[in-house]
């Protein structure tokens, strides 16, 4: 059997009053994975205990240097994701624009050089537009804000 034990400190912020202290909790969690029966099914048992603690400045602001470093790393990661998303958005728009220009040139070619033949249908012109690019543009627009 395997037992995992850890404790968590949680701070619940309240917005009821301007200067109200948040609620602090200390959770002690114990997870046990039991394979003593050797049947291929592992039993899990979760035991958790929560303790309410009075918040004070020391409890709220502990390891502020670590928190600041972690926040800076997350901001840096957000900037990298934003940069990659903007590049993806620009490249998808560019690809759709080139596909549109190629579609216009093909239509013009078929209307001038092959005027005797029937014009291209919409399904034939759809080849120049990749719908994955539309999906990626929508996804990028949802990530950017």
Q: Where are the domains of the chain?
A: 2-60, 64-143
* Per-residue pLDDT at 27: 92
Q: How far apart are CA 110 and CA 104, in angstroms?
A: 10
Structure tokens at 28: 């002690």
The radius of gyration computed from the CA coordinates of the chain, to the nearest angstrom, equals: 30
Q: Which of 86, 75, 93 is nearest to 140 (CA)?
A: 86
Count other C-beta atoms under 10 Å from residue 140's C-beta: 19
* Burial class for 107, CB neighbours closer than 10 Å (0-12, 13-18, 19+): middle
Q: How far apart are CA 85 and CA 141, in angstroms?
A: 9
* Per-residue pLDDT at 19: 63
* Per-residue pLDDT at 6: 93
Per-residue pLDDT 10s for the chain (145 aa) are 889 999 988 877 666 665 666 778 889 999 999 988 888 888 899 999 999 887 766 555 555 676 678 778 888 999 999 999 999 999 999 999 999 999 899 888 888 887 777 878 888 888 888 888 899 999 989 988 7
* Per-residue pLDDT at 85: 93
* Per-residue pLDDT at 60: 54
């Amino acid at each position: 059997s395997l037992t995992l034990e850890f404790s968590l400190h949680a701070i619940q912020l309240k917005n009821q009053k301007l200067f109200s202290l948040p609620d602090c909790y200390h959770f002690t969690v114990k997870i046990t994975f039991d394979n003593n029966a050797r049947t291929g099914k592992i039993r899990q048992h979760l035991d958790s205990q929560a303790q309410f603690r009075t918040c004070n400045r020391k409890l709220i602001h502990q390891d502020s240097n670590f928190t600041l470093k972690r926040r800076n790393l997350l901001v840096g990661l957000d900037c990298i994701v934003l940069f990659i998303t903007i590049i993806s958005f620009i490249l998808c728009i560019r690809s759709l624009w080139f596909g549109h220009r190629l579609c216009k040139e093909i239509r013009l070619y078929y209307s001038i050089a092959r005027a005797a033949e029937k014009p291209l249908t919409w399904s034939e012109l759809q080849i120049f537009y990749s719908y994955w690019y539309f999906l990626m543009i929508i996804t990028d627009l949802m990530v950017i804000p």
